[in-house]
Chains A and B, each alone.
Chain A
Amino acid sequence: MTLFSKLKKLRVILGIIFLLLTLSLFIDIFEKYADERFGQILYLQFVPSILNFVQTFSLLTAGGFIIVLILTLLFGRLYCSTICPLGILQDIVSNISKRFSKKRVFYKYKKAHPIWRYSFMGLMIISMVAGLGFIVVWLDPYSIAGRFFSFIIDPSVRSMNNVVATFMQNQGNYSFFHVPIYHVSTVPVLLTIALTSFIFVLAWKRGRFFCNVICPVGTFLGITSKAALYKVKFNPDNCTKCGKCAAVCKSECISIKNYSVDETRCVTCFNCLQVCPDAALDFGNLKSVPKPKVELDSGKPSTDEVNVNVHENDATRRKLLVTGLAMMAGSGVYALKKNKLPESQHNLTLNNRDFFPSPPGSGGVRRFNSICTGCALCISACPTHVLQPSINQYGLRGFMQPFMDYETSYCNFDCHKCADVCPTGAILPLPMEEKQLTQVGIVRFLKENCVVVTDGTDCGACSEHCPTKAVDMVPYKDGLMIPEVYPEICIGCGACEYPCPVLPPFRAIYVNGNGVHKLADKPEFGEQQSVDFDDFPF
């Protein structure tokens, strides 16, 4: 085996390992991974690492992007070919496509689309600096892949587990158990399917087109790799213009006419090196390569390109339209729900929130919205599934970012897994004592909605579940007990709201999110009581 085919094989193996490791984090349904493993495996993810570094200035947790930059300066876009999960996914798609294709020449050299590339990169940089998380959500390749794993693969794996569990339990074997399949609302799932299908169709037809036209990380690392020490280079003296290299170049960046490899688009996949029969391509720091003659088309876009531009403009407009419709559909859900309620509940007071709470450790809603890239890893990892992708809960600024959904579940008092898995630092780890005092929202009690008042019966589900006793039961009338709230010790975990028997959006008790998280007072533990009888009181 030649050196180059070894290199290619190594690239493939590394890519598969990174992809499987990353995917495994999203389908860790039995919580087998140690908390620190998440950060280790995602250490090299470029955008999350930068965002995290800006939060923590810690090279230990967030130095990955520097390593990626060094790698790029040495060998070109290795990140794209081995580390980026979306890149590997596209490689898999185009590989399958190639196997199905009867075409002898699968790829052809295509011109770059600099205007698009730099526009997307500019948009990404502006969004990251200005904290426009909802744009970053749609551009960061790791996060796009993350949502594919979290909303599509994770529920599939869970379903398979549950089929096995059902089968085994029917045989009387209870060592297999069901895991809840959390019900992500339709809009995020459909959008994820739409976006990944779009990318996969591009990969099917044009290889790494997405990476070289849309992906801002690809563009940024492409520019960086211009200075790379090792690059794929032509040796025109040996080249017989057989075209084999260009036919396997999934970046469509090898021009035989000009003896040139567009290093900004090359993802260092080594495919071309492996197939070249004439040793006309090399991977090295040779300076002897002649400049490509003339790049006829550089600078002035051809008519073809203009047409493409127009189409893509349409596509973006359509995407915006879809997003807008989706948001409107989201707000319509509550209106529909109200009509389904029984007659007796039509007079109840509606729950009104200033904010839906963001996860503990995120500091506050707006800070969270500006950093989170919506990779949905916390949504997959959250043991209670209280974290759900937002539609309109955060407004446009947090579209697709996780919010605390107390219709689905509530936040476990002794758990801070979301912070342990978050690669961007949008949710920062807190010491457990601090997490247990972090007030993400404050309880609101609507006495007029409470079944103790409306039905005259005991309930107390809210108080039962409250971990700090910010909801206590006090005498009401006829021997009944009614909730009383102590907002100063409430941490907004939703343990009261979730079990309330009055259905949303008319809960008798609910959490109003804090725009900026606060610290709750520590609950008074009080003196230990004593037993006032000797042996038996009967």
Chain B
Amino acid sequence: MMKRREFVTRSVGVGLLGAVAPMFGGLDTLASQPAVQGNYDLAAVRGGTPPQMFDKAMEAIGGMGRFVKQGQRVLIKPNIGWDTPPERAANTNPDLVGRMVKAAFEAGAADVFVFDHTCDQWDRAYRNSGIEAAVRQNGGTIVPGNNERNYREVSIPGAKILKTTKVHEMVLNTDVFINVPVLKHHGSTTVTLAIKNLMGCVWDRRFYHGNDLSQCIADFLAFKKPDLNVIDGYRMMTRNGPRGVSVADVVDLGALVAGTDIVAVDSAATLMFGSQPNEIGHIRIAEEMGFGTTNLEQLSINRIRI
């Protein structure tokens, strides 16, 4: 139950936002192409709780209704790779995932599924990340990703190396594909964001590692690009990724990036991490293969401060 004072401050905050946000939009229109609320290519938010930031971002890029239509089956793919608690930020924030499940239902979704092919033992990762509970509370369905029989062989003609792979059936038999990674450091690829998060849709990750990791990560986009990418930067793991060693590896960034261009959202988040997008192998390759742009100047961006 929300305390009264909390309610009051929140209401004031939201009210102020409503007043201030358009100003940012106004400034943006000076810098790049004109865009009105709901038509931005990319939304970047800082300062609220993950659900608040998500709601603001969705307002800017057209609302959940733009992506989810009545009666559709929705897949939300967070990062649930590790058996660690939310404060370690190795997995996507559970409150954010919960809010997204709810938003999808509010937009008319018939079913909302959530899964990841975890690295650590799957049931403990689902449980201890807090994501299983968050999804259940909001009426979503948790789908296991631990069994090879749930994965189907697909061929990817547009790929350079990852010509065939086994993809989770949920990716194949849902109507809407929403990707929600966490913003964090990664020992092999410097950062792991939206493009890298798709590696959790395939069965044989060892193939990636043994056959040019960065190229394989980018190759997956030739098979499928998510309809929407939301990057959780509420907490950011700055080193020792992707698992992290302790909470000292985590800073409270309080950020969220959302958009349809997977290369662009990754670029924005990479800049927040403190690296350059074209220094990241798989992001550079993804742009070269034509899956999006790292040039944020070309896009209309709504920068929102809560």
Contacts and interface: CB of A to CB of B under 8 A. Distances in A.
B37 interface: no
Contact of A457 (B211, B242, B253): B211
Interface residues of B, number: 57
Nearest to B210: A501
Interface of B is mostly: mixed
Contact of A174 (B143, B243, B253): B143
Contacts of B206: 461, 499, 501
B301 interface: yes
A180 interface: yes
11 contacts: A174-B142, A177-B147, A455-B210, A459-B188, A460-B189, A464-B187, A469-B240, A501-B207, A526-B248, A530-B251, A538-B268
B119 A464 contact: yes
B271 A531 contact: no
A463 B188 contact: yes
A223 to B, nearest CB: 47
B83 A414 contact: yes
Interface string A506-519: 00000000000000
B46 A536 contact: yes
Interface string B201-244: 00001110111111100000000000000000000101111110
Interface string B244-259: 0111111101000000
Interface in A514-538: 523, 525-533, 535-538
A472 B187 contact: yes
A328 B96 CA distance: 55
Contacts of A128: none
Contacts of A459: 188, 209-210, 213
B272 interface: yes
A528 B272 CA distance: 16
Contacts of A536: 44, 46, 268, 272, 303
B38 to A, nearest CB: 20
In which size bucket is the chain A interface?
35 or more
Contacts of A531: 236, 251, 253, 272
Interface string A407-447: 00000111100000000000000000000000000000000
B57 to A, nearest CB: 13
A158 to B, nearest CB: 12
A-B pairs with lowest CB-CB distance, top 8: A460-B188, A501-B210, A463-B187, A525-B248, A178-B147, A177-B144, A457-B212, A458-B213
A527 B248 contact: yes
A285 interface: no
Nearest to A489: B245
A460 B146 contact: no
Given A178-B144, A461-B205, 15 more contacts: A174-B142, A178-B147, A383-B124, A412-B120, A414-B83, A457-B211, A459-B188, A459-B210, A460-B187, A460-B189, A467-B243, A468-B245, A501-B209, A530-B251, A532-B274
Contacts of B247: 528
Given A528-B250, A531-B251, A531-B253, A467 B213 contact: no
Nearest to B268: A538
Contacts of A468: 245
A468 to B, nearest CB: 6
B141 A174 contact: yes
B188 A458 contact: yes
Chain A contact residues, majority secondary structure: loop
Nearest to A169: B150
A538 B296 contact: yes
A180 B144 CA distance: 12
B186 interface: yes
A235 interface: no
Given A174-B144, A177-B146, A538-B268, A467 B251 contact: no
A8 interface: no
A465 B248 contact: no
A529 B212 contact: no
Contacts of B267: 538
A412 B84 CA distance: 11
Contact of A535 (B141, B212, B303): B303
B251 A528 contact: yes
A464 B243 contact: yes
Contacts of A466: 243
B242 A166 contact: no
Contacts of B11: none
A173 to B, nearest CB: 9
Interface in A481-507: 481, 499, 501-502
Contact of B83 (A178, A412, A479, A538): A412
A451 B214 CA distance: 14
Nearest to A472: B187
A24 interface: no
Interface in A162-210: 166, 169, 174, 177-178, 180
A178 B214 CA distance: 31
B155 interface: no
Contacts of A460: 186-189, 209, 213
Contacts of B303: 535-536
A351 interface: no
B80 to A, nearest CB: 14
A537 B248 contact: no
Contacts of B253: 531
Interface in A137-166: 166
A89 interface: no
Interface string B130-149: 00000000000111101101
A418 B142 CA distance: 28
Given A415-B124, A458-B281, A467 B188 contact: no
A386 B123 CA distance: 16
B188 A464 contact: yes
B209 A529 contact: no
A457 B121 contact: no
B305 interface: yes
Contacts of A479: 281
A227 interface: no
Report which residue of B113, B213, B274 has the largest number of chain A beta carbons within 10 angstroms of its beta carbon: B213
A473 interface: yes
A502 B209 CA distance: 10
A239 B63 CA distance: 93
B202 to A, nearest CB: 14
Contacts of A463: 187-188
A224 interface: no
Interface in B160-194: 186-189
A521 to B, nearest CB: 13
A525 B245 contact: yes
B186 A464 contact: yes
Contacts of A473: 187-188
Contacts of B149: 166, 178
A455 B248 contact: no
B238 A529 contact: yes
Contacts of A525: 245-246, 248-249
Contacts of B205: 461, 499
Contacts of A178: 144, 146-147, 149
Contact of A499 (B143, B209, B239, B296): B209
Interface string A381-420: 0011000000000000000000000000000111100000
A352 to B, nearest CB: 23
A161 to B, nearest CB: 12
B200 to A, nearest CB: 12
A478 B301 CA distance: 34
B301 A458 contact: no
B43 to A, nearest CB: 11
